């Protein structure tokens, strides 16, 4: 067996065996297969796809390329959540304390943001003193004591995925559903959870632009999970518009705190997505019905238990639980409406770019974040607006903000007639 034979087999649209996939991934991880050969294989996979077995075997080989976290010493059914990335997506900051306050252990490893999508670890690092790195024994001890810990991805988890991910990015092979699905699922399975709820974003501010492809990705990940002994559910959510009011690291922590303090006053889309994902996570862990699961989630939001757990979690990881609101920035610029009408759409991608330019996101992994920078959406879809009313506030410590202002203005679509906002929950699988 050699790599050239496997490339030839795949380019002729023949299925690879489990042994062949294990060979390919092991050799590539150990630098025994050059990038140019793996690039050819990735392009063949992009063109011809992979069947259900191949995709599961690829995921398994990627999991086995490195360490697998052993969470067996944590009591209870461990349920994890993953989002494919979105603008203003602070849902992990909400569902984790909600589930932990319901006595469901959350042992979560999260990533950093790159480009217009933010990372949960960056948001938590914006809290003064918060430690995103814990030793394995500290991590497990904290989950057993507090039912919640969120740390950065570390150690030797899925090294094959890290290499493949970087190669896909520079060879035009990112948009392959088997490759996307195996990348996501390998990390989640290596992280040790018993059950996984996946928030697949769909729309202009997401990688999957339409429901058909989002559903295909969801179905593929469910099949992978089942074949590898995990319970998996998927919630497909709208990302044509930002989630909630705030985009930016400390701004999103502040919105998460305010949500847990009084969820009934939160933006409807953020509320719908948070309740749907929390309920599905609780259902996976306990086997409760849809209705009973949602009732449990609303109960801990109403009685303050989720907010108390949020503060407890921050303190347990060394953070200052009172440091949850963004500090004043050099510039706080109100972006005004140029006409009367109704807001019909807020383009998530453009808002993400505006936030990125003022330092709330990274263009490269080496970029330093400004935790307090970002955008607050004052006016939301469906609202009536008058010329001169404030649409959004831009927070920046940079002086050059004209392009961000222009992007925010362009993001807001104002029409004469009132339009109905898209549903936040597109599909549950």
> How far apart are alpha carbons 77 and 404 in whole angstroms?
44
Is the pTM higher than 0.75? The answer reads yes
> How far apart are alpha carbons 427 and 425 in whole angstroms?
6
187 is catalytic: yes
Question: Could you tell me which residues come within 8 angstroms of residue 32 by beta carbon, excluding any fewer than 6 positions away?
Answer: none
pLDDT of residue 64: 96
pLDDT tens readout for residues 371-422: 999 999 999 999 999 999 999 999 999 999 999 999 999 999 999 988 777 7
3-state secondary structure of 426: strand
> How far apart are alpha carbons 350 and 348 in whole angstroms?
6
pLDDT tens readout for residues 20-31: 999 999 999 999
CB < 8 Å & 24+ apart, contacts of 19-22: 21/54, 21/57, 21/58, 21/61, 22/57, 22/61, 22/64
Choose, from 81, 168, 296, 376, the residue flagged as catalytic.
168
Choose, from 92, 126, 176, 183, the residue flagged as catalytic.
183
pLDDT of residue 114: 63
CA dihedral 324, 114, 243, 270 (to 10 degrees): -60
* CA angle centred on 34, ends 30 and 36, rounded to 5°: 150
Within 10 Å of residue 13's Cβ, how many Cβ atoms?
Answer: 10
Choose, from 147, 187, 230, 353, the residue flagged as catalytic.
187
161 is catalytic: yes
279 is catalytic: no
pLDDT of residue 176: 93
Choose, from 78, 82, 245, 376, the residue flagged as catalytic.
82
Phi and psi at residue 115, to the nearest 5° = 80, -140
Choose, from 80, 161, 238, 347, the residue flagged as catalytic.
161
pLDDT of residue 214: 94
pLDDT tens, residue order, the chain (429 aa): 899 999 999 999 999 999 999 999 999 999 999 999 999 999 999 999 999 999 999 999 999 999 999 999 999 999 999 988 789 999 999 999 999 999 999 999 887 776 677 789 999 999 999 999 998 899 999 999 999 999 987 768 899 998 998 899 889 898 899 999 999 999 999 999 999 999 999 987 777 889 999 999 999 999 999 999 999 999 999 988 899 999 999 999 999 999 999 999 999 999 999 999 999 999 999 999 999 999 999 999 999 999 999 999 999 999 999 999 888 999 999 999 999 999 999 999 999 999 999 999 887 767 889 999 999 999 999 999 999 999 999 999 999 999 999 999 999 999 998 877 779 999 999
Question: Could you tell me which residues come within 8 angstroms of residue 414 by beta carbon, excluding any fewer than 6 positions away?
Answer: 337, 338, 339, 340, 341, 342, 343, 344, 385
SS3 readout for 363-415:
CCCCCCCCCCCEEEECCCCCCEECCCCEEEEEEECCCCCHHHHHHHHHHEEEE
pLDDT of residue 321: 96
In terms of Cα–Cα distance, which of 257, 280, 281, 256 is closest to 270? 256
> How far apart are alpha carbons 195 and 193 in whole angstroms?
6
> How far apart are alpha carbons 123 and 389 in whole angstroms?
30
* CA angle centred on 217, ends 271 and 54, rounded to 5°: 145
């Amino acid at each position: 067996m050699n790599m050239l034979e496997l490339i030839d087999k795949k380019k002729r649209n023949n299925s690879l065996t489990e042994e062949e996939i294990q060979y390919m991934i092991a050799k590539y991880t150990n630098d025994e297969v050059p990038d140019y050969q793996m690039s050819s294989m990735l392009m063949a996979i992009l063109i011809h796809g992979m069947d259900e077995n191949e995709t599961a075997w690829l995921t398994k080989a990627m999991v086995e390329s490195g360490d697998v976290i052993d969470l067996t010493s944590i009591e209870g059914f461990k349920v994890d959540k993953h989002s494919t990335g979105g603008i203003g997506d602070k849902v992990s900051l909400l569902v984790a304390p909600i589930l932990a306050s319901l006595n469901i252990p959350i042992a979560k490893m999260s990533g950093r943001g790159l480009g217009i999508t933010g990372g949960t670890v960056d948001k938590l690092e914006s809290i003064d003193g918060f430690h995103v790195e814990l030793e394995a024994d500290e991590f497990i001890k904290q989950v057993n004591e507090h039912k919640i810990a969120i740390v950065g991805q570390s150690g030797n988890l899925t090294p094959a995925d890290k290499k493949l991910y970087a190669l896909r990015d520079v060879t035009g092979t990112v948009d392959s559903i088997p490759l996307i699905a195996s990348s996501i699922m390998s990390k989640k399975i290596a992280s040790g959870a018993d059950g996984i709820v996946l928030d697949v974003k769909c729309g202009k501010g997401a990688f999957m632009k339409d429901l058909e492809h989002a559903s295909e990705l969801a179905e593929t990940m469910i099949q992978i999970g089942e074949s590898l002994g995990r319970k998996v559910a998927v919630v497909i959510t709208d990302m044509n518009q930002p989630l909630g009011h705030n985009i930016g690291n400390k701004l999103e922590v502040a919105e998460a705190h305010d949500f847990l303090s009084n969820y009934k006053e939160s933006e409807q889309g953020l509320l719908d997505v948070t309740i749907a994902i929390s309920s599905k996570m609780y259902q996976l862990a306990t086997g409760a019905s849809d209705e009973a699961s949602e009732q449990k989630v609303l109960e801990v939001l109403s009685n303050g238990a989720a907010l108390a757990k949020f503060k407890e979690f921050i303190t347990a990881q060394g953070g200052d639980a009172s440091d949850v609101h963004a500090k004043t920035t050099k510039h706080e610029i109100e972006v005004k409406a140029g006409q009367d009408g109704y807001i019909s759409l807020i383009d998530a991608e453009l808002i993400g770019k505006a936030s990125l330019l003022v330092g709330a996101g990274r263009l490269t992994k080496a970029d330093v974040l400004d935790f307090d920078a970002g955008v607050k959406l004052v006016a939301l879809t469906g609202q009536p607006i008058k010329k001169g009313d404030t649409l959004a506030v831009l927070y920046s410590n940079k002086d050059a903000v004209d392009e961000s202002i222009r992007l925010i203005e362009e993001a807001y679509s104002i029409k004469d007639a009132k339009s109905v906002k898209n549903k936040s929950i597109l599909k549950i699988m």
